Structure 1
Amino acid sequence: MIDELATHGYRLSPGTLYPMLHRMVDNGYLTVRSERDGRTVRKFYSATAKGREGLALAQERVQIFIRKEPGND
């Protein structure tokens, strides 16, 4: 996930990303499931309905920063 975010210009360390993911799970925005692959445990995160609603709201609110008004070039 950190590598994928880096391709989009976000530079996060595990010490930043994982606490954020844990808070999002605790607050009901994500669910998490774990799968063991030998000695490695992988976690898979999915957005809940609440998480999708929160994303839609955030996308709506960020539009005020990226929306071009006529004559504001």
Structure 2
Amino acid sequence: MIDREFFLGFVKIHILYHASKEPIFGVGIIEELSRHGYYLSPGTLYPTLHRLAEDGYLKQDSKLVARKVRKYYTITDSGLEVLKKARDKISELVDEVPDDCNSNPIHL
């Protein structure tokens, strides 16, 4: 069985990375994460985005798009710092995990 909380850590890193490249929004990041094999429901993604914003890793801005308010998220300086530290830890981990591990899609 897949431990949901374990994989949410990877999802958060993906979110921070994409928010460092351009403003992200809910549906767009759900689609992007699915390309990486993570299938998130809105009920999982939106609380994660809100928590990252509350913790100071993302900044939230609202814009009117097609008569609807869309929340966009961009990375903060704290988010960049965490992303850099995560990248270093991931590099270390990649060197330790054997190549013969299976890779299957993740549903959260």
TM range (shorter): 0.7 to 0.9
What is the deviation of 1:61?
1.0
CA RMSD of aligned residues (A): 1.7
| Larger RCO of the pair (alpha carbons < 8 Å, separation 6+) | 2
| CA deviations over 1:10-29 (Å, ceiling 9, x no partner) | 11111111101101110100
In 1, the alpha carbon distance for the partners of 2:93 and 2:44 equals: 25
What is the deviation of 1:36?
1.1
Q: Does 1:22 align with 2:46?
A: no
What is the deviation of 1:39?
2.9
Listed as ranges, the matches of 1:53-72 within 5 Å are: 53-67=81-95
Return the TM-score normalized by structure 1.
Answer: 0.84
- Equivalent residue of 1:67, what SS? helix
Return the TM-score normalized by structure 2.
Answer: 0.59
- Equivalent residue of 1:62, what SS? helix
The alignment-based identity, stated in percent, is 46
- Where is the helix percentage greater, Structure 1 or Structure 2? 2
Q: Which has the larger radius of gyration?
A: 1
| CA deviations over 1:34-62 (Å, ceiling 9, x no partner) | 00124311111000000000011111112
